[in-house]
Structure 1
Amino acid sequence: MAGMILPDAEWRRRPGLDRLVAALGEARFVGGSVRDTLLGLSVADIDIATPLAPETVIARLKEADIRCVPTGLKHGTVTAVLSDGPVEVTTLRRDVDTDGRRATVAFTDDWREDAARRDFTINALYADPLSGEVFDYFGGLADLAARHIRFIGDPLARIAEDHLRILRFFRFLARFGDAADPGGLDACTARARDLMALSRERIADELLKLLVAKDAVRVVTLMIERGIFVPVLPEITSAERLATLAGREAASDTPPNAIRRLAALLPVDAAVAESVGARLKLSNAQRQRLIRAATPETGEVAKALGFRIGTEQATDVLLLSARDLGDVRDLRDWEPPQLPIGGGAIVARGVKAGPDVARLLGVVRDRWVAEGFPGAARVEQLADAAVAEALGAT
């Protein structure tokens, strides 16, 4: 159960953390910070578990002059605000009642009982802040060494407590796992329809995190084979385009993007993308990016495309197409230029202020883009020609 020592890591020297630990007296690091440190990964979020009641935690932090926010008192969580970021402090707890979406908890002073309510063995690892001693109640260290994703206890019971654990199982498999526990995989398959009871925001949050994990292609393929998407995202039927996209991202040194990868899982159809974006309650910016990425590629010159829709979305379109990856690299550090003239230049050439000015400025812009964004002298010539044509026509 114990014996391993948590390696030293930069996050353990975060300013104020030692003072927080001293104020609590009884505390252990838990979850992702322990897991990721053991894997040699960087740590962003720090969680601390303690047998102290939330009210006691608040009192001790105030006494130590540490700002705290009661972010989730009902579930025993207090956020300590340190200079380098927040640290969540949560009282040990056990589940009293669950309905697959939320839990009612009771506080406890039993570390094993707290560990037993967590989802996977690799997430139920604790470490003493001072000695670094690691506490493992359910074989998480062995599973971590084997890159084995396994539920704590009965997988069906864990899923019944929180249906989101189905997606978390696959996300952790894509991020950390070489092997999925067969019992856990079968339980997720059997209970896939439980995902329908979850808010679409929670589903989207887990899915988008999964899609940028290092082994996303293999795991999404497994999810499709197991019918996991059918209840909530039946549009996802193949991972072939995702596999192609992931290869093109890697070959062009482009970081993966979750919305781009979601687009690769959907039909090339803006209406389908719009429907999925709305169903998942994505932000307006995410929806527009998804819809744009699902629009068929037209063969437009890369920089012209980048000027028209923005380099970020143009990169999505190019990566999702069969275009040469040189086009993607061309956009990497390119800033779309500003047209060197404005409407005043059109008026100065004898065009009456009004809609004709905007129309002619558009003509100049289109020709400027088509010629590859030439300098101001050439733009003046383009403006002369556009105005002459317009005046000549009248």
Structure 2
Amino acid sequence: MPRRWLLVPLLLLAVLAAAVLWLNLRGEAAIAAGSAPAAGTPGQVARGEYLVRIGNCATCHSVRGGVPWAGGRGIATPFGTVYAGNLTPDDHTGLGRWSADHFWRAMHHGRSFDGRLLYPAFPYPDFSRITREDSDAIYFFLRTLPAVRQPNTPHALDFPYGTQAALAVWRALFFRPGAFEPEPARGAAWNRGAYLVRGLGHCAACHGGRNAFGATPEAGLSLAGGLIPMRNWYAPALNSPGQAGVADWETAHIVALLRDGISPRGTALGPMADVVYRSLQYLRDDDLQAIALFLKSLPQQRDAASSRKPPDPAHRAAGAKLYDAHCADCHGANGQGARSAAGVLIAPALAGNRVVTMEPPANLVRVIVHGGFAPATRGNPRPFGMPPFALALSDAQIAALAGFLRTSWGHDAGAVLPQEVARWRGGAGD
């Protein structure tokens, strides 16, 4: 083979490398030499403190029993574990040497202080849509935290996912620096809700689902639901009336669910309960109203009819006996739920409950296995909880019970298999 033909694949590789490099640098301005840390005004700091509540930042950047904001929490992914960084203003292990420009580059472009590409477990594909003003406010708040010298834990990612080259290819395929584009015809409140949901709230990180490469579809704009990797909870579709769509809800009921974790139409459980507890209950009423307005406006898509077969009579009868023995005292003989004499919800109705009929039935299995616990909030300071049945019931029994629930009181959702219970019961609990 003539030597010149060997240059062809090398030339193609060089062109590909140049394309990947360009795709990772597009729209990114260089940080000015001498860009230094700065302090904000009291108003900017207060705004930043509120914004980090919306973003629920402390949850990932704090480890249980550790110093808040000092990082160290492991975020499990299908590709390995990513460890959240130290956000305190320590010069050596935190953000002490970062300027507002460095912080903006991380939020908008997904690059660290030294230019390294960040992993999208840090949801910069969503944060890329926030304004520079909000990014600066968050930065100024973080500058006020006590500096904590705590080295960052190295990521534990499988090869080749832990390499910058692999991440560069991923970004070239799935990431574009974004900006929120308001829709003037929708009004200020709707646009505020869209900005919070699609940007700092990063709702699509869970409710958008992820493809085989860990990317959210439609550049993070999809809210069509998906399994949360490594946690075995299903984040239901926000555009489906059979899952978590709220188009037909009263605005007050949506606000109550977001703020209190409980409303006449539903209860926040699992990872969503944690979001309410740590983030949403602290939002201003106008922002909660704006989010509710945006969620109500989402075009609703009907779920496909269930293809599951009903449980066979023997398994359904076994499920009915388990329900009578373990569930009926609280949830009622006919799945109607129960309230105290004062009207406080004790046990939600199971008849007509979307958690029961949702496909996949992962959340139903997890509630039976791990229990159901609403968050403690100002609007619901002493919530009732459901005990876990992980040790009391086998996989086969849980499958029988779930199948009974999904085919009772007008439900037609089909059976659950024991192997599905075995799959969904594991993973991070809440």
Q: TM-score, normalised by structure 2?
A: 0.26
TM-score (norm 1): 0.27
Q: Which has the higher strand share?
A: 1
Higher RCO by CA contacts (8 Å cutoff, separation 6 or greater): 2
Rg (Cα) greater in structure? 1
